[in-house]
């Protein structure tokens, strides 16, 4: 089967690697990914992870600035794929692309659809405190993650899993689910299932407002937010001097919260943890931090540097 692969970040590399290693029955005829983007202090152009993997394995790489218009249509006709596989590509596919391959366009999505359609399903599931997420493969349609579902695979979210843990677990499960979907397609055994739009939820892209910690929320909700945003882009707060303090890891503390204490108040620095008063009389222990202008460190190191004191209010 002649497959055109479309994807951009590390999550997509899991599926591309699985296709490349699948054997002679599957031929990746090309890889479409986003243009290189400036990164780092020098703003040097850096290739997306999918491009790096594709070039290492001798696959043709295409980085169109748009999928609309004659140029990409001509490329599509030249490559003539039988199936297009899309994994976190980052752009909406126009109708002429969706309609081109005889076997359609199959997407690997990081949630159990119709829950968490959209750009950040993994992060949102963790932030919302879900115990289970998963992978759905689906035929792509013109709407945002609205196509008919094909196969699903569930993945547990443990209480201390962060975004990196779930990203890597779902990446591997997604690759396996994709291969099973293609095997079923070859065998004529796929049974598409329409999504119930009434059950749909939307996983919006993470923005800065999502990362600011509001200590009026309970400790469990804050813990879920911190791990859903770790190791990137990271939840943050501010120390009394206005300096940014990003939080890599935390845990729900069993230290009692005294009556009348303002949320965000540092209650204890014992045991190398920054214990903070939260809503509903709960407390949260910050265990790993990234102070402004510094590297990532255990909270104990931040405490030893005398950058925080009991009674300080984080906000």
d(CA 106, CA 298): 43
- Per-residue confidence band for 28, with pLDDT thresholds at 50, 70 and 90: very high
Q: Kindly report, residue by residue over 97-154, the tens digit of the pLDDT.
A: 999 999 999 999 999 999 999 999 999 999 999 999 999 999 999 989 999 999 999 9
Q: How is the chain split into domains, by residue range?
A: 2-203, 208-304
* Phi, psi (deg, nearest 5) at residue 78: -70, -45
Q: Kindly report, residue by residue over 244-282, the tens digit of the pLDDT.
A: 999 999 999 999 999 999 999 999 999 999 999 999 999
Tell me, what's the pLDDT at 38? 87
Tell me, what's the pLDDT at 26? 83
Buried residues in 29-64 as b, exposed as e (16+ CB within 10 A): bbbbbbeeeeeeeeeeeebbbbbebbeeeebebeee
* pLDDT at residue 42 greater than cutoff 80: no
pTM of the model as a whole: 0.95
- What angle (nearest 5°) sits at the alpha carbon of residue 206, between those of residues 53 and 284? 110
Tell me, what's the pLDDT at 25? 74
- Per-residue confidence band for 214, with pLDDT thresholds at 50, 70 and 90: very high
- Tokens 């899991």, located at residue: 14
Tell me, what's the pLDDT at 312? 97
Tell me, what's the pLDDT at 196? 97
Domain at 2-203: CATH architecture: 3-Layer(aba) Sandwich (3.40)
Average pLDDT over residues 74-103: 96
- Per-residue confidence band for 43, with pLDDT thresholds at 50, 70 and 90: confident
3-state SS, residue 143: coil
3-state SS, residue 75: helix
d(CA 251, CA 132): 20
Average pLDDT over residues 200-220: 97
- What is the rounded average pLDDT for all residues in the chain? 96
CATH class of the domain whose range is 208-304 = alpha beta
């Amino acid at each position: 089967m002649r497959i055109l692969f479309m994807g951009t970040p590390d999550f997509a590399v899991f599926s591309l690697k699985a296709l490349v290693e699948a054997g002679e029955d599957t031929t990746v005829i090309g890889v479409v990914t986003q243009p290189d983007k400036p990164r780092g202090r020098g703003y040097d152009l850096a290739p997306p992870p999918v491009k790096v993997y594709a070039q290492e394995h001798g696959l043709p790489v295409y980085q169109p600035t748009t999928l609309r218009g004659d140029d990409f249509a001509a490329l599509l006709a030249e490559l003539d794929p039988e199936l297009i596989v899309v994994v976190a590509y980052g752009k909406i596919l126009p109708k002429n692309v969706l309609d081109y391959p005889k076997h359609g366009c199959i997407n690997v999505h990081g949630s159990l659809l119709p829950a968490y359609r959209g750009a950040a399903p993994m992060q949102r599931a963790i932030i919302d405190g879900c115990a289970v997420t998963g992978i759905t493969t689906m035929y792509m349609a013109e709407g945002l993650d609205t196509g008919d579902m094909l196969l699903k695979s569930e993945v547990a979210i443990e209480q201390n899993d962060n975004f990196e843990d779930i990203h890597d677990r779902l990446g591997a499960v997604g690759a396996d689910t994709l291969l099973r979907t293609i095997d079923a397609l070859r065998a004529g055994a796929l049974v598409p299932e329409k999504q119930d739009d009434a059950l749909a939820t939307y996983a919006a892209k993470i923005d800065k407002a999502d990362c600011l910690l509001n200590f009026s929320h309970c400790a469990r909700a804050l813990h879920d937010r911190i791990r859903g945003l770790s190791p990137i882009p990271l939840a943050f707060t501010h120390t009394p001097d206005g300096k940014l303090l990003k939080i890599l890891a935390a845990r729900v503390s069993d230290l009692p919260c005294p009556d009348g204490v303002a949320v965000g108040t540092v209650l204890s620095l014992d045991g190398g943890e920054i214990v903070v008063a939260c809503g509903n009389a709960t407390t949260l222990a910050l265990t790993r931090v990234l102070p402004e202008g510094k590297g990532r460190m255990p909270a104990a190191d931040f405490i030893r540097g005398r950058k925080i004191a009991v009674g300080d209010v984080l906000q």
